[in-house]
Structure 1
Amino acid sequence: MQSDVTIIGGGPVGLATALSLEALGLSVTVMERAPASTLAEAPFDGREIALTHHSVSVLKNIGAWAHIPDVAISPLREARVETGRHNHPLTFDTRGRGVDALGYLVSNHLIRRALYAQASERPGITIRAGTATQYVRNGRKEMTVVHDGGEETSRLVVAADGRFSQVRRLQRIGAVVHDFRRSMLVCRMAHESPHHHVATQWFDEGQTIALLPVNGGASSVVLTLPSDRIEALRHMERDAFNAQIMQRVGNRLGRMRLVSTRHVYPLRGVYAHRFATAGFALVGDAAVGMHPITAHGFNLGLKGQETLAQEVAAAMEKGAPIGSLSVLRRFERRHRLATAPLFAATNGIATLYTRDEMPFRELRRAGLRVADMLSPFKNAVTDMLMDRQKTA
């Protein structure tokens, strides 16, 4: 079989890439190991995605936003950062900005379903579910993806198969891997006190907790601890788990009860040494896998595929090959500029705010107090959180 573009990985960024490139008039094939039933009805995985205004615009432009139920979209009206107990929080809100939300929380599995639903409707997209990629063969003018069902030849191959990308390794592209030696447990908890659509990131001694407000009197709890302690919580009896979470969040939301399955993810940051070679590009976590502390992973993934589509469109206008090294190097430069500073800053913040020695505790307390008094800093961070730039 032959198509203009082959995308390896049918996750959210892979499907978004397919939709963006198909909108340019290209034929796109998506290779995904998971069966079609899993793609169509992606199961709850515990993760809530904080979408920026720009990301919402991207999802609208590629047609996926319409597939997300309104009731599942929770506005984020304020964000608070706290450290220790009884400390002055650093707060971010939308006052004076003409909008009612910093961003919007949507469950990851609903984003996956929406993107698959839209991609399935597009005539130029072929989704080969239940298909495992064996290797990619580089040619002078075309690329060949060898999979367990045959071969797919195309002008451009895009790897979107996650932060531990097999295809990236097969292309001999290395990556910086930062192991935070922690795992995060995510689940949804109902509670008796209202959250007022305020998200809280709390760096307490020995633990990091995020409380993300979702509709229906519930919050997503994101708890970060050493892996062995997380596993104990993962398998804890339900009533004991409820009591443990209430104690860990300082009873700030009243009585809480588990209303979802529990999911655990190891925390590792990944940054590929290269994002492109001739005929080949990396997007999503295969290029940059972020620590979730700044909630920018999926947003950066959407930006990366958008940048790739823009450079491909520019090449098509000039009659240049879409897989040429010069085209993909322009994509790489732009995406590196957008991601490298944030990746470094995120790793630094994650390290500073998860160390419990006295110098680190005092430094972060002082840092939050100073930051909350600096209006220019707060405005800059709020702008970054909202990201209201227009979609190109």
Structure 2
Amino acid sequence: MCSLNRCFDIVVVGAGPVGLSFAASLAQSQLEVAVVEQNSIDRLANAPFDGREIALTSASIRILRQLGAWDTIPASEKSPLYGARVLNGSSTFALRFDAPRASGEPLGILVPNCHIRDALFKVVRLGDEPLLLCGHSVVRATTSHKGAVITLSDGMQLSARLVVAADSRLSPTRDLLGIGADINRLGHSMLICRVRHEGAHHQVATEWFDHHQTIAMLPVGEGMSSLLLTLPSSEADRLLAFNDDLFLLELTNRCRGRLGKMELASNRHTYPLVTTWAHKFKAPSAALIGDAAIGMHPVTAHGFNIGLSSQKQLADAILTASRHGRDIADPAMLHRYERWLRLSAAPLYHATNILVGLYSSEQPVARLARHAGLRFAQHAPLVRHVISAMLKR
């Protein structure tokens, strides 16, 4: 296989946070690793603010710290989250989730996605490995138990013992590997922007399921929140086209003045909502991590954490095999990884989809059911404890 243009032990496709963290996890090994990314090296080195705030759990923070990325993120960009409130319609009742007082630890820490990417990129660039092949996409992939061969858009061919797809929930590499996926295009988009506001958020996030819209208010600094508005895609596009003054007026009306007077603190961004679940998380000499394997609905803010844990699980298995002189693409090892990810992620993935279905329905029965469900959960400490444990792991 080494008669091809370049030969590697592992080729990672996609240099998003999960792909970069996977490459960083392997950096201290003797394995030869390449990362293929369609964006330019300049764009990776200067990740623009994209509106997305990632709620990192303590487990994800430990992974980033182990990789040397956590301390690279400026302290000013880390916003502790000490509680969450879930509201339904015009009701004043709120389901409450609070960090345990005894521990003194927050439920999570909000960090802009661009700063996580930037920190991981810096970690990867500090070492000799991996090789970054930027400005290229994968146009062909063939795999067998003997290894993988991928062809890039410039015609270069790479051979590898293992190819790992980490190139988004609509992963072209997953398709090239012949792995199907359940893809649910929800017909809604998330419109995101930062706002400064009069009201105090007390480092508490609010998730508000109102009629024909969902609003999330995430505390990202004193007097500032990230506002996430989920709407039918056509409606989101309409609001995106408003000038700033008209947009703020619309936003204030939709939030019913909950944050007081607001002013824009960032550009606006929209993202179509799509969930995915790959039918398999592996193929001969190939594996999927991050959104290429599982694309979560953002309502639970947990998709990134699942992606980060998936790369760690696979990287640890590969490093163990390498240290003991075993095959880093051993089918039994990949099967164990797939089984772990399926068992680990399925409960939250399916529970999230059920939650989205219940809270996006405008049927009177659904409205009553979600109001009753919130009250039941508030008065059932075990339920809230289980949900909190799922969100923090």
Same fold (TM over 0.5): yes
Between the aligned partners of 1:323 and 1:196, the Cα distance in structure 2 is 48
Aligned twin of 1:344 = 350
Q: Where do 1:297-312 residues align within 5 Å?
A: 297-312=303-318
Amino acid corresponding to residue 292 of structure 2 in structure 1: A
Between the aligned partners of 1:97 and 1:382, the Cα distance in structure 2 is 15
Q: Where do 1:24-35 residues align within 5 Å?
A: 24-35=29-40
Between the aligned partners of 1:365 and 1:301, the Cα distance in structure 2 is 32
Q: CA deviation at 1:124?
A: 2.0
What stretches of structure 2 of length at least 5 have no aligned partner?
1-5
Query: Alignment partner for residue 101 of structure 1, among 90, 106, 122?
Result: 106
- Tell me, what secondary structure is at the counterpart of 2:128? coil
1:21-53, CA deviations, whole angstroms, 9 ceiling, x for partnerless residues?
223432211000100111011111111000001
- Tell me, what secondary structure is at the counterpart of 2:8? coil
Query: What RMSD over aligned residues (CA atoms) do the two structures have, in Å?
Result: 1.2
Aligned twin of 1:169 = 175
Between the aligned partners of 1:48 and 1:126, the Cα distance in structure 2 is 28
Aligned twin of 2:58 = 53
Contact 2:144 2:284 in 1 (8 A): no
1:118 aligned onto 2:123: yes
Query: Alignment partner for residue 147 of structure 1, among 129, 139, 152?
Result: 152
Q: CA deviation at 1:139?
A: 4.5
CA pair 216-25 structure 1, distance change in 2 beyond 3 A: farther
Between the aligned partners of 2:367 and 2:32, the Cα distance in structure 1 is 54
Between the aligned partners of 2:102 and 2:195, the Cα distance in structure 1 is 31
CA pair 382-97 structure 1, distance change in 2 beyond 3 A: farther
Q: CA deviation at 1:142?
A: 2.3
Q: CA deviation at 1:138?
A: 2.0
TM-score with structure 1 setting the length: 0.96
Q: CA deviation at 1:314?
A: 3.1
Q: CA deviation at 1:317?
A: 4.1
Between the aligned partners of 2:90 and 2:37, the Cα distance in structure 1 is 46
1:169-217, CA deviations, whole angstroms, 9 ceiling, x for partnerless residues?
1111100112222111011111111211110000011110000000142
Query: Alignment partner for residue 179 of structure 1, among 166, 185, 206?
Result: 185
Amino acid corresponding to residue 233 of structure 1 in structure 2: L
Could you list the structure 1 runs, at least 4 aligned residues long, displaced by more than 3 angstroms after superposition. Answer: none
Contact 1:311 1:330 in 2 (8 A): no
Contact 2:348 2:390 in 1 (8 A): no
Amino acid corresponding to residue 54 of structure 1 in structure 2: A
Report sequence identity in percent: 42
What stretches of structure 1 of length at least 5 have no aligned partner?
388-392
1:191 aligned onto 2:193: no
Aligned twin of 2:77 = 72
Aligned twin of 1:10 = 15
1:286 aligned onto 2:255: no
TM-score with structure 2 setting the length: 0.96
1:99-153, CA deviations, whole angstroms, 9 ceiling, x for partnerless residues?
2311000001111111111111121211111122121222442212211341222
Higher mean C-alpha displacement, 177-186 vs 222-231: 177-186
Between the aligned partners of 1:138 and 1:84, the Cα distance in structure 2 is 51
- Tell me, what secondary structure is at the counterpart of 1:4? strand
Between the aligned partners of 1:196 and 1:103, the Cα distance in structure 2 is 14
Aligned twin of 2:283 = 277
Contact 2:142 2:177 in 1 (8 A): no
- Tell me, what secondary structure is at the counterpart of 2:349? helix
Between the aligned partners of 2:86 and 2:222, the Cα distance in structure 1 is 23
Contact 1:42 1:113 in 2 (8 A): yes
Q: How many matched pairs?
A: 387
1:63 aligned onto 2:68: yes
Amino acid corresponding to residue 62 of structure 1 in structure 2: L
Between the aligned partners of 2:274 and 2:344, the Cα distance in structure 1 is 20
Between the aligned partners of 1:90 and 1:140, the Cα distance in structure 2 is 51
Aligned twin of 1:41 = 46
- Tell me, what secondary structure is at the counterpart of 1:356? coil
Aligned twin of 1:81 = 86
